[in-house]
Structure 1
Amino acid sequence: MSLITREIQLDEEKVVNSFLEWAKVNAPSGKEKSISERLESTLTDMGFSIQFDEAHINFDGDVGNLIAFWNGTDSSIPPLFFSTHMDTVLPTEDLKPVIKDGVIYSDGTTILGADDRAALTAYLEAIQYVQENNIPCGPIELILTVNEQQALQGSRHLDYSKVKSDFGYVFDSSGDVGQIILQGPYSSKFHIEVIGKSSHIGLNPEEGIYAFEIAADIIKSVKVGKIDEETLVNVGLIHGGELSSIIPGNVKMTGEVRCFNKKELNEQLELIFSNALSAAEKYGGRVRNEIEKKYSGFQVDKDSLLAKNAFDAAEQIQVQPWLTKTLGGADTNNLNENNLTCITLGNGFRNIHTHQEHISIKNLVNTVRYTVSLIQSWHNLHKND
């Protein structure tokens, strides 16, 4: 049993204002320097030591990942990290927030950026609360990544030698606070190039091999959407053709497969490529196939100390915890693949990546409360052990 944590009393208005301040910092993927500089100043004032890596040189960004470490009050406790990303999927320049019925929106001309300024705000507000109220805690580390919205590239290229912690949490899910995601999927892109034969529709149409027709058969042969409870398949991009008068001889298709089971993911890819080959041969064409790994899956045991801490911390703030898994990807996938054991937690943003994005003040404030409680509970669990 963990010790009883002290009651967490937050200034709701302060939390909301802090969120709005961070949300207004325009930092779309690859352009995070502005927010990283503000974070460096803020975290230094809070007593953190700051490091940046050079992940951005891999994708032409303007700054690397930010890794910040604070010793806490009790160095005998294993450090605990909290991670989120500094980028937003679209710009938030000239953001005009609107608050209606306890929910924060943009005015519809930009995204809100709650994905994931909500987590960033929660971490900063929670740590400030811990410091101001002299709450005993172990060391805390922040792993703030860049270019997450573009295939998790920041965490993929993170300099893991700079990280001191082994365990942590990533608030980055649309579920309400209390959602505990213990499993995430493997994901791979697939690229299919359909090779037919170009010819002029008016001069020599009989010589053409219509690549679009082959591509259409491939799409019809590929079951897309939710295949089963374990697997998702999508064909998202198709490019081809030159002129309306030319029978297209080349089409490129890109899709992806997500699956909790790596073996089943590979089997799904093999089926797609087999169907593509059959379709091409039917019309006398060819295909070239390529697999591009996006990220690996992860699974954290429900009886692990990290999961127990998540449960205890939720119950301490009278939030109902529940276990789930997701076919969505997050930095959690890459962090776990690189031996940083972590769990994705819900922080309640909605309609992300759209101008209708929003988050309730309740979820925003509860994310701060939950972060404080996770820090307290982590200290208590280790002291009891």
Structure 2
Amino acid sequence: MSTQTSIAASKINEERLLNSFLELAKINGPSTKERLVADYLENLLPELGFTFEFDDANKNFNGEVGNLIAWKDGTDASIPPLFFSTHMDTVLPTEGLQPVIKDGVIYSDGTTILGADDRAALAAYLEAIRAIIESGAPHGPIELILTVNEQPGLVGATYMDYTKAKSKTGYIFDSSGDVGQIILKGPYSSRIWMEVKGNAAHIALNAEEGNSAFLIAAEGLLNMKLGTIDEETLANIGIMEGGELTSIIPGSITVAGEVRSFSKEKLDQQLQHMQETMQKAAENNGGSVQVRIEKKYSGFDIPKDHILTKTVEAAARNIQVQPYLTETLGGADTNVLNENGLTCLTLGLGFQNIHSFRECISIENLINTGRLTAGLIEQWYENHKPAK
């Protein structure tokens, strides 16, 4: 499985990759506002030998631009195509971003996020393609699947036009683990919305007619199993909204939460428990509850002996990085792509404190992401090239 050395990975230009990341990080592109990032890629991708197109996913959520799918022919068309995916949006604006490098780690100046989630992956992919070209390494076709509106809940990937993707297998660098982390398993996830109803009344004028929806919901929550349910399942209540005035006993309240589990059966059991617990509280107190369950995404489980797993383990060792296999209850585009027939796994690239002004990434992890991407392209070719 192994080439022992990776010629293309050794061609990664560290200064060029760092500058590319800093340039991308400064492009303001929060969720649904990715037009400037798309403009950057439209100018650059043809120089790297890519053709590309956008889908119309953005029409489903009033975004500026759709998902970008780019294709580069291989030196050997007989090799199965390999895709690399990431998202073009950041969770918050990066307007006015000022990067600061201290002790080999890249930060913002503390007034914005850094956007390493996931501009670091995008910069690394682009540098890896340059390294492949400059090294002259043989390779199969390469596809980039660059989604929009990922941060609010994998929305761009959910509405992607999957007929535009030519490849069926690939990788997504989008995890806080250091380079070498290989995530084979991701969770199922659903939201639960509970509309708890009592009876509104004024505390001074007709309090005896009141039935507080807050108190009904409180009883339900006190009897509800939340947090870590078991080693495979998490449950949370994250939203409570309702009430009109401090003088009005609230007649309605919205309670919303989320469940994640590696097991679809356990996910459904926990959702049912939450629903039944709130319904019982409502019945006990003369109220009612309407429940709506909203699927977020499905889980994935890539075998340890899958070609994707074996390829990344070998490629990591070729660049002197120790690979390790793990699983996560965090969601990523990986969940949605797998559900839609694009088999992939998530890889770590080492960003830290994401979604905050303390976000950072080490230069070492940034460079290793580029090296591993180039190594994956090279190793994929080695694993599939015709026998002599």
Question: Would the TM-score normalized by the shorter structure come out above 0.5?
Answer: yes
Question: Displacement of 1:4 after TM fit?
Answer: 3.3
Equivalent in the alignment of 2:294: 292
Question: Displacement of 1:74 after TM fit?
Answer: 1.1
Question: Displacement of 1:224 after TM fit?
Answer: 2.1
4+ residue runs over 6 A deviation: none
Question: Displacement of 1:138 after TM fit?
Answer: 0.4
Q: Secondary structure at the match of 2:138?
A: coil
The 5 Å alignment of 1:1-385 reads 1-7=1-7, 8-383=10-385
User: Which runs of no fewer than 5 residues in structure 1 stay unpaired?
Assistant: none
In structure 1, give the amino acid aligned to 2:94.
Answer: T
Task: Give the distance between the partners of 1:238 and 1:204, measured in 2 at CA.
Answer: 25
Q: Is the 8 A contact 1:5 1:377 kept in 2?
A: no
Task: Give the distance between the partners of 2:40 and 2:12, measured in 1 at CA.
Answer: 23
Question: Displacement of 1:355 after TM fit?
Answer: 0.4
Question: Displacement of 1:217 after TM fit?
Answer: 1.3
Deviation string 1:6-53 (CA, Å, 9 cap, x unpaired) is 341433222111100000000000000111011011001111011100
Task: Give the distance between the partners of 1:67 and 1:134, measured in 2 at CA.
Answer: 24
Q: Is the 8 A contact 2:12 2:127 kept in 1?
A: no
Question: Displacement of 1:384 after TM fit?
Answer: 6.2
Question: Displacement of 1:2 after TM fit?
Answer: 3.1
Question: Displacement of 1:73 after TM fit?
Answer: 1.1
Question: Displacement of 1:239 after TM fit?
Answer: 0.4
Q: Secondary structure at the match of 2:256?
A: strand
Deviation string 1:266-306 (CA, Å, 9 cap, x unpaired) is 00000000100111111100000000000000011110111
Q: Is the 8 A contact 2:3 2:318 kept in 1?
A: no
Task: Give the distance between the partners of 1:384 and 1:259, measured in 2 at CA.
Answer: 41
Q: Which moved more, 1:223-232 or 1:199-208?
A: 223-232
Deviation string 1:221-270 (CA, Å, 9 cap, x unpaired) is 22222221100111111100000110001000111000000011000000
In structure 2, give the amino acid aligned to 1:85.
Answer: H
Q: Is the 8 A contact 1:211 1:250 kept in 2?
A: yes
In structure 2, give the amino acid aligned to 1:251.
Answer: I
Task: Give the distance between the partners of 1:357 and 1:43, measured in 2 at CA.
Answer: 28
Question: Displacement of 1:5 after TM fit?
Answer: 3.5
Identity score, percent:
61
Q: Secondary structure at the match of 1:227?
A: strand
Q: Is the 8 A contact 1:2 1:384 kept in 2?
A: no
In structure 1, give the amino acid aligned to 2:28.
Answer: N
Q: Is the 8 A contact 1:209 1:249 kept in 2?
A: yes
Q: Is the 8 A contact 1:24 1:94 kept in 2?
A: yes
Task: Give the distance between the partners of 2:248 and 2:131, measured in 1 at CA.
Answer: 66
Task: Give the distance between the partners of 1:238 and 1:257, measured in 2 at CA.
Answer: 16
TM-score normalised over the length of structure 1? 0.99
User: Which runs of no fewer than 5 residues in structure 2 stay unpaired?
Assistant: none
Q: How many residues align?
A: 385
Q: Is the 8 A contact 1:5 1:376 kept in 2?
A: no
Residue 344 and residue 6 in structure 1: after superposition, are their counterparts in 2 closer, same or farther (change >3 A)? closer
Task: Give the distance between the partners of 2:146 and 2:222, measured in 1 at CA.
Answer: 42
Task: Give the distance between the partners of 1:229 and 1:374, measured in 2 at CA.
Answer: 32
Task: Give the distance between the partners of 1:178 and 1:151, measured in 2 at CA.
Answer: 25
Question: Displacement of 1:3 after TM fit?
Answer: 3.0
Q: Secondary structure at the match of 1:84?
A: strand
Deviation string 1:148-192 (CA, Å, 9 cap, x unpaired) is 001101000110000000100000000000000000000000000
Q: Secondary structure at the match of 2:385?
A: helix
Task: Give the distance between the partners of 2:183 and 2:6, measured in 1 at CA.
Answer: 26
Task: Give the distance between the partners of 2:117 and 2:91, measured in 1 at CA.
Answer: 8
In structure 1, give the amino acid aligned to 2:284.
Answer: K
Task: Give the distance between the partners of 2:92 and 2:76, measured in 1 at CA.
Answer: 40
